[in-house]
Amino acid sequence: MSHIHLPDGVIPVFWWVVGYVLTAAMLGLAISRTNSTEARRKVPLLGIIAAVMLIGQSIPLGFIPFHLGLAVLAGIILGPWLGFMAAFISNMFLALIGHGGITVVGLNTVVVGSEVIIGYLLYNIFRRATVEHILPVILATALTLIITIAFMIGVVAIAQVNPALVLMGEDAGAIKDSVVVDSPVALSLRRFVTIIVPVAAIGIAIEAFATGLIVRFILGVRPEIVGAPARERER
Amino acid sequence: MDIAFIDNLAYNRDSVMHRASAVSKVLMVALVIAAVVISTEVVVFIMALAFLLMAFLISNLPVLRILPFAGYALVFSLVFAVSSTGGGITPLVIMLKAVTAAVAMLLLITTTPYPQIFALGRKIFPTILIDAMLVTYRSFFILMEQVERVIIALRMRGAYSPLRVAGNLNIMGKVIGHGFIHAWELSENMQNAMLIRGYRGGMPVSATRKYSIKYSLLPVLLGASVLVVAVFA
């Protein structure tokens, strides 16, 4: 749900290149951490979970202009590394239909991929603290979304600042005439946050409870999908 | 989002743009996006949109049904445009940048089947990612059809109402949960089928039609013209 719906040409070149470099590094790490036999075996699951993420993003929830992201659930089911790959695939598909620019795919993958990884880690921490399954899912999803939305706002904010100033502080003045890295837009962050935060608050609540409800249904039918022992089926 | 509709246009229509190679159309999009990134002149975007609309018109495509897809980009660019406080770029330019890039992308995907685009990605991305994208593309339609059937059944029973957000959430939880289980079982079947057929990584993608170099010049020229105007405007 923290997907950045920014079009092409708005984020300065420097920052979307950084997004792609970080994504490439994370994908490289994800692939190296998944051995080739396991990867080949999990290609169908990876592709299909990415498709389910896309479907979740296709179904509007009534009059609220909001759709599910399902990144935390993908992390719980696939684990952090395959989940990161699923985030990249779903972002690439979304960009191909103009739902967020193609230049923003890198930054989007970093943000949604963090949602997958943080969600997976928090879920496992909360799971150890309780025998309950639904509450850890709701808590992990809500907390993850708060962190990643703050991260997304941070990305938008930082991308509006001249990168030379971020990197070199006062010394940037000396190079600003020779380096074409000026931000194309001076953004009012306060205004941006004012628009985003109320929608995000509703979105976090919806996504957290929806993820809990999805996991509750899965636990009742195929608990092993979310890593629960088969005895859960008897509850 | 209607990937099935877009896919149908890419596969079943025939035109000059459909006969151009996937590489030439990806290059066109790259050149248009380069122009979008470097330019802040309204005239450049208007000219680029005019070129792209002309390409749509000669592509035997339902332009009025396709262009609303660019609305995604327009709506989200509006949030950004409203937040803009100047800085040498107007809200109109922000919106034009978004729409121009989205229209170029729509021209690519409505004239090129997704697998052809992914096949090009094989030169850049690892095999596992491209294979997974092909599985995503294939399973999206299977799962979407199933979800649509469930939603129709729910609506017929009065279980889905736009004003009942909590009720919708509960039902959507069950629908998506059911979808996840179906997806899991589908992936198990697909995995077994792939192993039996000797999958060792790298799914083959065959071209659906014969591409012509003659037609491939058109999208390259279109993209190059937009970039040249953006550079010199």
Q: Do A214 and B180 touch (CB under 8 A)?
A: yes
Pick the CATH number of A13-234 from 1.10.1760.20, 1.10.760.10, 3.10.450.50, 1.10.287.130: 1.10.1760.20
Residues 6 or more apart from A9 whose CB is under 8 A from it?
Answer: A101, A103, A184, B33, B36, B37, B94, B97, B98, B100, B101
Q: What is the pLDDT of residue A39?
A: 75
B150 and B102 assigned to the same domain: no
B75 and B93 assigned to the same domain: yes
Q: What is the pLDDT of residue B220?
A: 93
**pLDDT tens, position by position, A66-91:** 677 889 999 999 999 999 999 999 98
Domain residue ranges of chain A, discontinuous segments joined by +? 13-234
Residue A26 pLDDT class (50, 70, 90 cuts)? very high
Q: Give the mean pLDDT of A102-108.
A: 87
Q: What is the pLDDT of residue B47?
A: 93
Dihedrals φ, ψ of A94, to 5°? -60, -40
Q: Is the pLDDT of residue A230 over 90?
A: no
Q: What is the pLDDT of residue B29?
A: 93
Residue B201 in any domain: the answer is no
Q: Do A55 and B86 touch (CB under 8 A)?
A: no
B32 and B133 assigned to the same domain: no
B173: tokens are 């939880």
C-beta of residue B102 within 8 angstroms of C-beta of residue A128:
no
Q: What is the pLDDT of residue A184?
A: 47
Closest residue in B to A196 (Cα) is B79
> Chain A partners of B33 at a C-beta cutoff of 8 Å?
8-9, 101-103
Residue A22 pLDDT class (50, 70, 90 cuts)? very high
Give the amino acid at A185. Answer: V
Q: What is the pLDDT of residue B145?
A: 82
B98 and B134 assigned to the same domain: no
Higher-pLDDT residue of B213 and B83 is: B213
Higher-pLDDT residue of A84 and A54 is: A84
Q: Does B6 touch chain A (CB under 8 A)?
A: yes
Closest residue in A to B102 (Cα) is A98
Minimal CA separation from A13 to chain B, in Å: 8
Q: Do A57 and B1 touch (CB under 8 A)?
A: yes
Q: H-type helices in chain A, by residue range?
A: 13-33, 36-56, 71-78, 80-96, 105-129, 134-159, 163-168, 172-175, 189-221
C-beta of residue A65 within 8 angstroms of C-beta of residue A102:
no
Give the mutation candidate from A2, A10, A66 for the B interface (greatest B CB count, under 10 A): A10
Q: Give the mean pLDDT of B171-187.
A: 84
Number of domains in chain B: 2
Minimal CA separation from A103 to chain B, in Å: 8
Residue A168 pLDDT class (50, 70, 90 cuts)? very low
**pLDDT tens, position by position, B88-135:** 567 788 888 888 988 998 899 899 988 888 888 888 888 888 889 989
Closest residue in A to B45 (Cα) is A9
Give the mutation candidate from B128, B160, B171 for the A interface (greatest A CB count, under 10 A): B128
A177 vs A181: CA distance, rounded Å:
10
Minimal CA separation from B177 to chain A, in Å: 5
Residue B205 in any domain: the answer is no
Of A21-25, A164-168, B114-118, B209-213, which gets the smallest average pLDDT? A164-168
Dihedrals φ, ψ of B84, to 5°? -70, 140
**pLDDT tens, position by position, B126-167:** 888 888 998 998 888 888 888 788 878 887 887 767 677 777
Q: Is the pLDDT of residue A194 over 80?
A: no
B220 and B180 assigned to the same domain: no
